[in-house]
């Protein structure tokens, strides 16, 4: 069902003239009748017969209707913006008269917003009285967008104060939002079509190195987090496995001994990663440029921030990162080891502390400063050399340590600092996400600067599944899916 505001806008942009002057009462009656039928036809195309006639009579008789309130909201915003703009240009604060008027505008906008809500509610009740009458199909409104840039250009055209042109595809129920809507906030505007939002999220994960390798549980509905019941295991010693599960060898007729596992609750609450994008009128008019900027730069930044939080987030307002989690094992440097070096012995000891269950999934994440050190360790040894060859380049050109791939990331610390080399099994890191990337665009917030304001929101949280390292069944050196190397200063 199409939005009634779409038809109302097009009606007000079209000239409507009264009948010829054949007599005052006749002309008035004819003109009113023509107006009522014209308005009724337009309104009924968007809903039921009753709601169409009601809207037509209200508009023709001069009674305030939803379009009047919407136009009043636009006028009030323009007036307020003009007051602020004048004070800014004159490099001064608002005077008392201006302050009083701004306060009055705020109050009137609040009342006007309530009027809009009431009118929307009234129209919805009238529309629901009888089944909607479908008069053909608006195929133009159903046509897909060619690309993100085309949609953005349409939003720009619809936001112009003079001669606005509204693409009917913007009025789809899934895209049009007004006033204090959950979809776009108090500014008003349009949501970005879902296929493009999904595409941006896909590019984010293709750009990221850590996030795609994590365990990810998407959540939906009204949920804002997830709680996991996790076996609380910190030791593989008898009586501690699986949080105190035990089994016994017994003889015939012996009594069985009970045991039960110990659990802990791992709680994840969605955190919000946000960004604002200001687009000038010139950029908005260039479909290809804007589509390129949004599709390239925002996914890169979202991927960077998500990976950075997974590696080193503090857990307060951000996900809890691997380096700051309780399960990280940081291997000590060698006695007498020079600053800013990485040795074969460091590799051997880090590998020995990696939990055996993670060896098939682990990757070495390094800073590019470490690469020269690894290249030296990959040079074939001479006949007198005893240096083990842990570092190799495969036929595919990929660098590996102990058979596991090396991945260079920006987020790793510089050479010689803890976190410059991290051996991690990201499948043991739990991530939750909700709704992909949400994108909104405001067509009012900065209209006096000839700019559109885009808002991007990613909702996610995460933390290592392990809250501590694990003591093995035999031996005292703890193991973990996450291993780093102490600072070598």
- pLDDT one-digit tens code per residue, 284-318: 565 555 666 676 777 788 889 999 999 999 999 99
* Residue 179 pLDDT > 70: no
Phi, psi values for residue 244, rounded to 5°? 105, 15
* Residue 251 pLDDT > 80: yes
Q: What is the pLDDT of residues 93-103, one digit of tens each?
A: 999 999 999 99
Q: What is the pLDDT of residues 423-480, one digit of tens each?
A: 999 999 999 999 877 777 775 555 555 677 778 889 999 999 999 999 999 998 999 9
Residues 393, 378: contact at Cβ < 8 Å? yes
* Spatial distance between the Cα atoms of 395 and 224, rounded to a whole number of angstroms: 46
Portion of the chain with pLDDT greater than 70, in percent = 62
Is the pTM higher than 0.75? The answer reads no
* CA neighbor of 446 nearest in space, from 243, 238, 223, 276: 276
* Spatial distance between the Cα atoms of 128 and 47, rounded to a whole number of angstroms: 9
The mean of the pLDDT values for the chain is: 76
Burial class (CB in 10 A: 0-12, 13-18, 19+), 139: exposed
Taking residues 330-337, report their average pLDDT. 96
pLDDT in the model for residue 108: 93
Tokens, residue 428 = 């043991």
Q: Residue 175 — very low, low, confident or very high, per pLDDT cuts 50/70/90? A: very low
pLDDT in the model for residue 343: 94
* Spatial distance between the Cα atoms of 46 and 365, rounded to a whole number of angstroms: 57
């Amino acid at each position: 069902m199409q939005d009634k505001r779409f038809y109302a806008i097009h009606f007000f942009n079209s000239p409507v003239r009264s009948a010829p002057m054949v007599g005052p009462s006749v002309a008035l009656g004819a003109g009113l009748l023509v107006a009522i039928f014209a308005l009724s036809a337009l309104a009924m195309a968007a809903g039921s017969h009753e709601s169409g006639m009601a809207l037509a009579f209200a508009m023709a008789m001069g009674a305030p209707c939803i379009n009047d309130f919407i136009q009043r909201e636009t006028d009030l915003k323009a007036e307020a913006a003009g007051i602020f703009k004048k004070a800014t240009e004159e490099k001064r604060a608002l005077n008392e008269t201006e302050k009083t008027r701004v306060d009055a505008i705020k109050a009137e906008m609040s009342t006007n917003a309530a009027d809009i809500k009431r009118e929307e509610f009234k129209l919805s009740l009238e529309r629901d009285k009888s089944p909607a009458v479908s008069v053909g199909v608006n195929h133009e409104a159903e046509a897909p967008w060619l690309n993100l840039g085309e949609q953005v250009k349409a939003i720009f055209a619809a936001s112009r104060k003079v001669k606005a042109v509204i693409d009917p595809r913007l009025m789809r129920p899934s895209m049009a939002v007004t006033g204090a809507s959950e979809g776009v906030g108090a500014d008003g505007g349009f949501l970005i079509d879902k296929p493009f939002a999904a595409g941006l999220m896909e590019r984010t994960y293709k750009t990221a190195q850590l996030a795609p390798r994590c365990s990810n549980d998407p959540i939906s509905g009204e949920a804002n987090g997830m709680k996991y019941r996790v076996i609380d295991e910190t030791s593989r010693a008898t009586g501690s496995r699986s949080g105190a599960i035990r089994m016994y060898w017994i003889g015939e007729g012996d009594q069985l001994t009970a045991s039960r596992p110990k659990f802990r609750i791992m709680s994840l609450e969605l955190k919000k990663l946000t960004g604002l994008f200001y687009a000038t009128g010139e950029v908005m008019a260039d479909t290809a440029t804007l589509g390129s900027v949004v599709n390239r730069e925002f996914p890169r930044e979202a991927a960077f921030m998500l990976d950075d939080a997974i590696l080193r987030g503090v857990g307060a307002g951000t996900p809890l990162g691997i380096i700051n989690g309780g399960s990280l094992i940081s291997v000590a440097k060698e006695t007498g080891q020079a600053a800013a070096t990485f040795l074969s012995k460091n590799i051997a000891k880090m590998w020995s502390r990696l939990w055996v269950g993670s060896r098939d999934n682990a990757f070495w994440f390094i800073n590019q400063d470490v690469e020269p050190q690894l290249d030296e360790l990959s040079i074939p040894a001479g006949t007198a050399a005893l240096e083990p060859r842990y570092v190799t380049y495969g036929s595919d050109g990929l660098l590996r340590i102990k058979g596991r791939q090396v991945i260079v990331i920006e987020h790793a610390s510089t050479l010689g600092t803890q976190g410059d080399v991290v051996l991690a099994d990201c499948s043991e890191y739990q991530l939750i996400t909700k709704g992909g990337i949400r994108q909104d665009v405001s067509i009012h917030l900065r209209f006096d600067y000839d700019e559109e304001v885009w808002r991007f929101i990613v909702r996610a949280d995460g933390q290592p599944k392990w809250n501590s390292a694990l003591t093995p069944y035999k031996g005292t050196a703890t193991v973990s899916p996450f291993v780093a190397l102490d600072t070598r200063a």
